[in-house]
Structure 1
Amino acid sequence: MNKKIIRFLVIVIGVIVIVAAANITMRNLVVSKVIIEINYRSSDHIIVRKDIERLIVSRFGNIDRKKRKEIDVEEIEKYLGSQNMIETANVFLTLTGKLYIKIEQNIPLLRIYCVDGKEFYIDYNAEVCNTRKGRAANVLVVNGDFEEKLEAGKVIDSTREPVTYNVYKIARNLASREILANQIDQIYYSKKDGFELLPKVGDYVISLGGMNDLDKKLNKLVYLYKDGFMKYGWDEYSHIDLQFKNQAICTKK
Structure 2
Amino acid sequence: MNYRMQINWNFLKLTALILVITGLYAFSNGRNSAKNVAGMKVEFIGDENLYLTEGTVNKLLIQKYGSLKNVPKENIVLNTIEKAIEANEMVKSAQVYLTIDGELTSKIVQRKPIGRIEGDKKYYLDDEGKRMPLSNNHSARVPIITGNISGKSLEDVYVILEHINKDDFFRKTIIGIHIKGENEYQLRLRLNNFVVNLGGVEDLDTKFSNFKAFYAKANKDETLEDYAVVSLEFNNQVVCTKI
Q: TM-score, normalised by structure 2?
A: 0.84
Larger fraction in helix: 2
* Aligned residue type for 1:227: K
* Aligned residue type for 2:44: I
* 2:212 matched residue in structure 1: 222
SS in 1 for 2:228: strand
Q: Distance in 2 between matches of 1:51 and 1:93?
A: 20
Among residues 77, 82, 91, which one is paired with 2:82 in the alignment?
77
RMSD: 2.7
* 1:29 matched residue in structure 2: 35
Relative distance call for 1:79 and 1:15 in structure 2 (3 A) is: farther
Among residues 226, 231, 238, which one is paired with 1:248 in the alignment?
238
CA apart distance, 1:53: 1.2
Q: Distance in 2 between matches of 1:179 and 1:12?
A: 65
CA contact (8 A) 2:146 2:178 kept: yes
CA apart distance, 1:26: 3.6
Per-residue Cα deviation, 1:26-50 (whole angstroms, up to 9, x for no partner)? 44312222111112435x3211112
1:131 and 2:102 aligned:
no
Unaligned runs of 5+ in 1: 1-8, 149-161
Q: Distance in 1 between matches of 2:177 and 2:99?
A: 47
Q: Distance in 1 between matches of 2:116 and 2:213?
A: 27
* 2:57 matched residue in structure 1: 52
CA contact (8 A) 2:37 2:71 kept: yes
Relative distance call for 1:174 and 1:15 in structure 2 (3 A) is: same
Q: Distance in 2 between matches of 1:166 and 1:26?
A: 54
Larger Rg: 2
CA contact (8 A) 2:159 2:201 kept: no
* Aligned residue type for 2:80: E
Q: Distance in 2 between matches of 1:251 and 1:171?
A: 25
* Aligned residue type for 2:42: I
* 1:194 matched residue in structure 2: 184
Q: Distance in 1 between matches of 2:198 and 2:211?
A: 10
Among residues 176, 180, 188, which one is paired with 2:166 in the alignment?
176
1:145 and 2:157 aligned:
no
CA contact (8 A) 1:40 1:107 kept: no
* Aligned residue type for 1:234: L
- Extract structure 1 runs of 4+ deviating beyond 6 A: 9-20
CA apart distance, 1:13: 9.1
Which range moved further: 80-89 or 135-144?
A: 80-89
* Aligned residue type for 1:190: K
SS in 1 for 2:144: strand
Relative distance call for 1:41 and 1:134 in structure 2 (3 A) is: closer
Q: Distance in 1 between matches of 2:29 and 2:154?
A: 51
Q: Distance in 2 between matches of 1:223 and 1:136?
A: 31
Aligned 1:69-108 pairs, distance under 5 A: 69-108=74-113
CA contact (8 A) 2:52 2:137 kept: no
CA apart distance, 1:15: 8.7
